[in-house]
Amino acid sequence: MVTVQFQARVKNGVIQIPRKYQGRFGERVHVILKVETRKGMTHNYLDSLMANPVKIKNFKTLTREQIYAR
């Protein structure tokens, strides 16, 4: 496996592979993306989960009494 590292901008959902690396890849590649965040910006995972909750089939919420039962 050949590994290269470069920085690129995403334009319309497309990442341009630098010209010097284009001949090194075949049809299939393994891609890992790391997103750079701007300084001062923080990502609140709780806000993300609240906005996009995980849906589980047949999930039943607990009542207050069930939560605090000992």
List the domain boundaries for the chain.
10-68
| Cα-based torsion angle of the residue sequence 38, 44, 50, 55 in order, rounded to the nearest 10 degrees | 80
Residue type, position 26, single letter: G
Token pair recorded at residue 13 = 């959902």
Q: What does the alpha-carbon distance between residue 70 and residue 50 come to, in Å, rounded to a whole number? A: 28
Q: Tens-of-pLDDT digits for all 70 residues of the chain?
A: 778 888 888 888 898 888 888 888 878 888 888 877 766 556 678 888 888 888 899 999 999 999 999 7
What's the helix, strand, coil split of the chain in %, to 5? 25, 5, 70
pTM: 0.42
Residue 40 DSSP class = T
